Amino acid sequence: MEHECSAEQLDAEGEVAVARLVADSGDLPHALRHLADAIAYDPRLPDVHEALAEIIARAGGAEQLLQVLDEVEGQDFIGTIALRAHASAVAGQWDGAVATLFAVAGHEPSRSWLDVAWLRRPDLPDHVSPKAMAIAVGRLAQGLADPVPDDEREPLLPAWELLSASVARHGDHAMLLWCASLLARRLGEHDEAIAWAEKSYEIEPSHEAVVVKGYALRSAGRNDEAIALWEAEIERTPEDLGLCLDVAELLGSTNRPAEALKWTQHVLDREPDHPKAGAVALGLRYDLDEDVTRLIALADQVREQPGSFAEHVLAKLSNHRPWLGLVPEPEEAVINLLRQVLGKQDWQPDSLSTVTLSAVEPPSALLALRTAFPRPLSPSSRCLSLTSGSRPARRRMSCGDTTAPSRIPRCRHRPKRSRMRSGARPLFIGCRRSTPTTAR
């Protein structure tokens, strides 16, 4: 591990040196591109922040630098977005600075993106509006595991400290309180998660506060209280079918599948084509009768609708079963390409002619690609060719408001730029949709 970190630090220092040389020539967008690579390698490297201060001075100020950042290639690159967060902080644009840096941290929670001096300013809660803090924390929380493992919480402590200070300063802001409960729950702070959600409801009796409190109770092991709370809320807001399924899943997880199935059937009666209820019902019926045809039906749904909730249900039921098991998600480049091509409605077996790889792929991955595209190879058009020494593509983060960066591979080459899906992990304010990707 030490060797890996040392290599990344050396790579970052090299990019900083190049950025300074390019900045001396007056090409600030090009210099910022190298600085973005540097911070992607090592977010804590002091030279990165010193070089950024130098380039800010060359640009005439932080606000001017933010305009220069608009010209940098790869606006959705996580390094570029991190630079924007730090430049926004220098410019005194605290709402945007916190929101942007929290978005980066939510994408890569295991790295020390939040270990910066300005995020620990004692007066920062006075400069960040409670609504902006609420939205930033909500989006950060939705990018985290629930709960976050104990040994992975340290990089997130600066966010927790800032959030706690903000709640102490703005304790009468209902939205901030229930959003704060989201992060508290994931970090194992069950008492705060429950108390903040309760206080939010006392200030403003919102649907979100009740839902969030139920999740906090569930995480604390108080399942019966969570079920009773949610069932009472369903009577008040019967249009939230997603909450009905939350009750069903919690009942199912506490070995009460018959009761859970009633709630699932209630959803199907209201919305027969609900994207989640059918899969949940099949899973609950399997719990009741262990009829393998339920699993086959789930597998058919997965085959017909890749990425549907049936994948989650089937994986949960198949886990720890020797004859099924849980197969790790393939991450090979040709498999990613295969998903993209097969996802197009107009794809044909001959729609893929040439694929160029920068590394050797496993035979099973190549076989899967050749199975879908069996066209024979010809001397003029080889289906797969291998090139060496090619520079990896730069990682991209695809998000309109720079709030949902994608995973950065750990490597010693120039950082790849992976694209983030637009609109990933939105924070829903007001009416929640009936899928599990709500603010919970």
118-168 pLDDT, tens digit per residue, is 999 999 999 999 999 999 999 999 999 999 999 999 999 999 999 999 999
pLDDT at 130: 98
Q: Is residue 117 part of a domain?
A: no
337 located within any domain: yes
Q: Contact at 8 Å (CB) between 108 and 405?
A: yes
Of 413, 159, 405, 43, which is closest to residue 52 (Cα–Cα)? 43
pTM (two decimals):
0.74
- Residue 288 has which token pair? 């009741």
The predicted pLDDT at position 347 comes to 72
Mean pLDDT calculated for residue range 421-433: 33
Among candidate residues 302, 290, 234, the one with its CA nearest the CA of residue 262: 234
Query: Percentage of the chain with pLDDT > 90?
Result: 69
Supply the pLDDT for residue 38: 97
In a domain, 147, yes or no: no
Peptide bond into 147 cis (omega under 30): yes
pLDDT at res. 5: 54
In a domain, 313, yes or no: no
Confirm if 78 and 397 have CB atoms less than 8 A apart: yes
Nearest in space to 160 (alpha carbons), one of 144, 424, 199, 172: 144
Residue 421 falls inside a structural domain: no
Q: Which amino acid is at 63?
A: E
Q: What's the pLDDT tens digit per position in 12-71?
A: 999 999 999 999 999 999 999 999 999 999 999 999 999 999 999 999 999 999 999 999
User: What's the domain count of the chain?
Assistant: 1
Q: How far, CA to CA in Å, does 319 sit from each of 255, 283, 305, 356? A: 17, 13, 21, 36
Is 364 contained in some domain?
A: yes
Residue 367 lies inside a defined structural domain of this protein: yes
Domain holding 343, by residue range, is: 333-375+382-386
Residue 8 lies in a domain: no
